[in-house]
């Protein structure tokens, strides 16, 4: 009887050890921001993320949501530094250090050309959330803002806009992009030729991690 009990106990112990050995290890949750693939290696704090406009798109600043009247820029880019990247689900943060606009034109009557379009009061804080949400907010340097300088029939005009509450956008792992659509900014300085409210739209992508060899694409988890 003792022999049978001993054999039975040994068999159970062996089965338990075997089961433990073949049971798959639970995969660790990925970071909110990963490189190369969804669920891939975490993007390190301090890495630099960069992007140009998505192919075939333009950055626009118009006089109404969905309007085509205003300023259109064929080129734009940004550079941001990752400041936090927790485990998903959650929110990662970046510091937007630079944002440029180029090849800008206007179809507003009385405007001869666009001298410049400039993001003001940088840096901004960009928050990216699991599920595809994004928001851009000002810092102690000032609110999110943009200054449009126009060459007009009456001379140079400066239109200064600000969005004290920030702007919101969305991210997509299809194209590794971040988009802003019809985000309103209020005129704080400028003559009547300037829109009282400007609406900013742009899609940037692919967003890549330039701090890593090969500049892998950004994924949001």
Picking from 184, 173, 164, the residue whose alpha carbon sits closest to that of residue 130 is: 173
Question: What's the chain's average pLDDT?
Answer: 90
pTM of the model: 0.86
209 phi and psi angles, rounded to 5 deg = -95, 100
Mean pLDDT along residues 30-37:
97
With a pLDDT cut of 90, the percent of the chain lying above it is 85
Q: What is the pLDDT of residue 154?
A: 87
- Could you tell me whether strands 208-209 and 59-62 are parallel, antiparallel, or unpaired per DSSP bridges? unpaired
Mean pLDDT along residues 86-97:
98
Given a cut of 50, whether residue 36 has pLDDT beyond it is: yes
Peptide bond into 123 cis (omega under 30): yes
Confidence band, pLDDT 50/70/90 cuts, at residue 21: very low
How many CB atoms are closer than 10 A to CB 63?
16
Q: What is the pLDDT of residue 73?
A: 98
Angle (CA) 6 7 10, round 5°: 85
Task: Quote helix, strand, coil % in the chain, to nearest 5.
Answer: 10, 55, 35
- Could you tell me whether strands 155-163 and 124-129 are parallel, antiparallel, or unpaired per DSSP bridges? unpaired
């Amino acid at each position: 009887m003792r022999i049978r009990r001993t054999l039975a106990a040994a068999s159970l112990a062996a089965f338990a050890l075997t089961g433990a050995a073949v049971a798959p290890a639970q995969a660790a949750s990925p970071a909110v921001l990963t490189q190369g693939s969804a669920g891939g290696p975490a993007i390190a704090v301090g890495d630099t993320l960069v992007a140009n406009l998505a192919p075939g798109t333009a950055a626009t600043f118009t006089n109404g949501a969905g309007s085509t009247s205003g300023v259109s820029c064929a080129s734009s880019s940004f550079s941001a530094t990752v400041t936090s990247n927790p485990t998903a689900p959650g929110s990662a943060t970046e510091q937007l250090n630079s944002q440029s606009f180029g090849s800008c034109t206007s179809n507003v009557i009385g405007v001869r050309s666009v001298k410049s379009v400039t993001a003001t009061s940088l840096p901004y804080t960009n928050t990216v959330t699991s599920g595809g949400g994004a928001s851009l907010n000002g810092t102690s340097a000032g609110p999110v803002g943009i200054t449009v300088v126009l060459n007009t029939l009456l001379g140079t005009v400066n239109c200064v806009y600000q969005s004290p509450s920030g702007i919101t956008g969305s991210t997509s792992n299809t194209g590794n992009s971040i988009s802003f659509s019809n985000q309103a900014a209020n005129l704080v300085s400028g003559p009547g030729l300037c829109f009282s409210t400007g609406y900013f739209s742009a899609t940037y992508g692919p967003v890549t991690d330039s701090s890593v060899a090969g500049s892998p694409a950004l994924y949001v988890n």
